[in-house]
Chains A and B, each alone.
Chain A
Amino acid sequence: MSVDTTTESAPAPKKGTNILLGLTLLGLLLFLWLLLGVSTNAFWTPNNISNLLRQGAMTAILAVGQTFVIITAGIDLSVGAIVGFTSVIVAWLLQAGVPLWLSIILTLLIGVAIGAFHGFGIVRMGLPPFIITLATLTSLRGIGLLITNGATISISHEGFTNFSRADFLGVPSLFWMVILVAIPAFVFLHLSRWGRYLFAVGSNKEAARLSGVNVDRTIYLAYILSATCAAFVGLLLASRIGIGNATQAEGWELQAIASSVIGGTSLFGAVGSVHGPLLGAFILATINNGANLLNINSFWQRIITGLLIIVIVYFDQLRRRGSR
């Protein structure tokens, strides 16, 4: 049967534009590095670069977890609170004499449990993701403060606190942790069927369900991954500052969301990648680092970050509309 029907528009293939955004962000990051290298002598020193990689690492890991959730058209506001809370948990466990390996596993399991609780609230209780994660954001900090009675638990385990200061092959161990998270995250999101299911659920739950996708399980999975990433960051933070304190990591959830959005994730769901939020996190870290080196008032850093979000997302929107 020869029926000639032509599509009414021929938009650019999606994959090409994804890579394009990645390259643009990478270009922006390199441009910032060049600019800072020219304008200040202190930037390209091994010490500063290590510092920059350490600063960016924790946001990067949070942003990757956050991206999984945002792709399902959800949001996880609790990640900053989880970081603070789990820093308390691991400090508490170590103080109580629990072996290091067991403390780490238990702390990560706490993350899994918090994520599962979010999934339960969304799937079973029908609460909006914004609400359930907002609720844990405030209550987790409260529970953390209750456990320590408002005090800070210091960590005396030297192996644990030395880890964050250590280098491996000249690269800070914290940055290696980013790679440790990013590679399985990439395989999961871009190469496995569960990654495809995240996108499908974020695009159209009903279509996904009728296609045999277990939508509830996919939502659980996204929030568990996000909370577990946050618990992992809680371990790294505890190692870096050597204490457990429930009020730490204030506002990191917004840093993570900003990194993810700068990295091309759509808050409407179904658009996102693993490399995008990583680049986004290091762009933010570079701006903070550069502003410090250039002696720019730290209040300005916040303003610059806000402007950057607007500019990058605006251009991303323009590009998407242009390809329609």
Chain B
Amino acid sequence: MSSLEELSHRHEDEAKLAESEAVPRGAPILELRGLQKKYGLVEALKPATVTFLAGEIHAIVGENGAGKSTLIKLLTGVIRRTAGEVFWCGKPVQLATPNEAISRGINAVHQEVVLCPHLSVAANMFLGDEMNRYGLMRKAAMERAAQAVLDDLGFQLPAAALLGSLTIGQQQLVATAKAAMRGIRFLIFDEPTAYLTRQESAQLFRLIRRLRDQGVTIVYISHRMEEVFELADRVSVLRDGAHVGTRLISETSENELIALMINRSIEQIYHKEKVPVGKVIVETRGLSGPGFSDVSLSVRAGEIVGLYGLIGAGRSEFALGLYGRQPVSAGEIFWDGAKVDIRNERQAMELGIALAPESRRDQGLCLNLPIGLNINLPVFRRLSSGLTIRRGDEAANADRQIRDLRIKTPSRRVLASAMSGGNQQKIVIGKWLSHGARLFIFDEPTVGVDVGTKAEIYRLFGELLKQGAGIILISSYLPEVYELADRLHVFRGGRLVASHDHRAATHEDVLTQAIGI
């Protein structure tokens, strides 16, 4: 028996409970009948009837606001349903509280890691379920057990290290291992690979398959079609809060799923405007700083320069250095051919650089403030006369961005935290559109964003190029940079290791260069 299985059967009573509710593989374990959720008049989830089978990987795809988050929250007891029935192992259940869901073995791994960065990996894995003897914690025993689980899963992570010292991707793996230890029977993954490198994703997939083979039912939510096809047994599609179909993976195609999701073909998504390329806007020569060194590249008006690499390859650090957020230790920056010294964000903005940063939550948005304030934050100076803000212009600017970008909100006064991922990304972009710039840096603009919003963002790139701007597009999603970038630079270990013209290299070449085999 592996250490993971041992630990997951640590609690005898829970094991017995699991036996009493045993469901043979392939039989329905969780059935939703007419499950519905309304917020006031808004129907976040229209009556949905879906069956999850024991021991399957069931993918759920859909655009932002299609109802995926609502469904997860209903299943994990975070919110209560408005109507409909839920059957667990054939018996009707309430799923009224998170504890009820957890006690039945339903658990979720969220896109954003919800763990304690100041505790060790082992302490996090045992959080709320510590091993005790005589009322004292058995720290060493927990560390050994946690290490055994991590080794067993092939994660190569130190159990004694502080969680905060790991990358976001590694923390995600810890969160998954923690969930897997709890004797779960039904595990929901919400966009788990959004922040993972390829190797980390591969490790996660191995773990997911292994859990499935142990009889755990997996619900896998992702925007990445190739993952759905790699992993899932069946897939359900949500659109506008309605369940529009469930397919066997072997009997469907990417095109069919996309058609179900948005009624649009895939060619229209990577739509790229052909814009005449102008003169060089910015050029870096041997730029070095924390996390990147000796980077030389240039961006011309009307072109997209793609930066591809694994997470931690130095692309975001380079962007922050160029933007004046991080000190640059060596090298030169030329703006319109003249050497410039960018020491802080304000100088970068005044030159005409805009940065839509990597993490919406940590860098992009003031989440507990209204959408309007977020959009106007870079431009309050322009919206002020003397001491005070011109309130009419303030409202008009926010409303214009909300309208132009189709941010789905009843009002600019709604808090940014109430928006879905795609709409939040639009708010970040709206900030910089209202400021205006000649060089736009987009760092992972489509992470956690659905296909429809992606297409809108790509279209927006075209608009910016037509207005004579240049774009630096940082992405860990190869098809995106590959299709969109006029020039593609590959980063590895803080250095620029290869450059290609549009579609000049194969996917495999680029990947190999990024990984460095």
Contacts and interface: CB of A to CB of B under 8 A. Distances in A.
Interface string A194-219: 00110110011011111111100000
B39 A200 contact: no
A188 to B, nearest CB: 8
Given A199-B369, A209-B325, A193 B413 contact: no
B67 A8 contact: yes
B383 A10 contact: no
Interface stretch (B112-120, B149-157, B219-227, B452-460): B452-460
A192 B65 contact: no
Given A196-B389, A209-B325, A212-B345, A5 B455 contact: no
A262 B69 CA distance: 35
A169 interface: no
Nearest to B62: A5
Contacts, number: 145
Interface string B131-147: 00000000000000000
Contacts of A214: 346
Interface residues of A, number: 36
A14 B362 CA distance: 22
A187 interface: yes
Contacts of B362: 204, 206-207
B351 to A, nearest CB: 12
Contacts of B455: 1, 3
B345 A196 contact: no
A218 B180 CA distance: 45
A297 interface: no
A14 B365 CA distance: 17
B357 interface: yes
B85 interface: no
A197 B373 CA distance: 10
B380 interface: yes
A199 B67 contact: no
Given A1-B459, A8-B420, A196-B380, A191 B388 contact: yes
B355 A210 contact: yes
Contact of A5 (B39, B391, B408): B408
A187 B415 contact: no
Interface in B378-423: 378, 380-381, 383-384, 387-389, 391, 406, 408-411, 413-415, 418-420, 422-423
A4 interface: yes
B486 to A, nearest CB: 23
Contacts of A207: 357, 362-366, 374, 377
Given A203-B367, A210-B363, A212-B346, 4 more contacts: A8-B69, A8-B420, A14-B414, A196-B380
B415 A6 contact: no
A192 B389 contact: yes
Contacts of B171: none
A191 B383 CA distance: 11
Contact of A270 (B262, B369, B388): B369
A203 B371 CA distance: 13
Interface in A275-298: none
Contacts of A210: 323, 325, 345, 355, 357, 363-364
B9 to A, nearest CB: 37
B369 A203 contact: yes
Contact of A211 (B39, B368, B378, B408): B378
Interface in A64-110: none
A207 B427 CA distance: 12
4 tightest Cβ-Cβ pairs between the two chains A and B = A203-B366, A193-B380, A3-B452, A13-B413
A275 to B, nearest CB: 17
Contacts of B69: 8
Given A191-B388, A191-B389, A211-B378, A7 B423 contact: yes
A46 B41 CA distance: 52
B355 to A, nearest CB: 6
A13 B373 contact: no
Interface string B291-327: 0000000000000000000000000000000010100
A7 B366 contact: no
A3 B415 CA distance: 22
A208 B422 contact: no
Contacts of A7: 42, 65, 408-410, 414, 418-420, 423
A6 B240 contact: yes
B370 interface: yes
B70 interface: yes
B360 to A, nearest CB: 9
Contacts of A197: 380
A187 B367 CA distance: 24
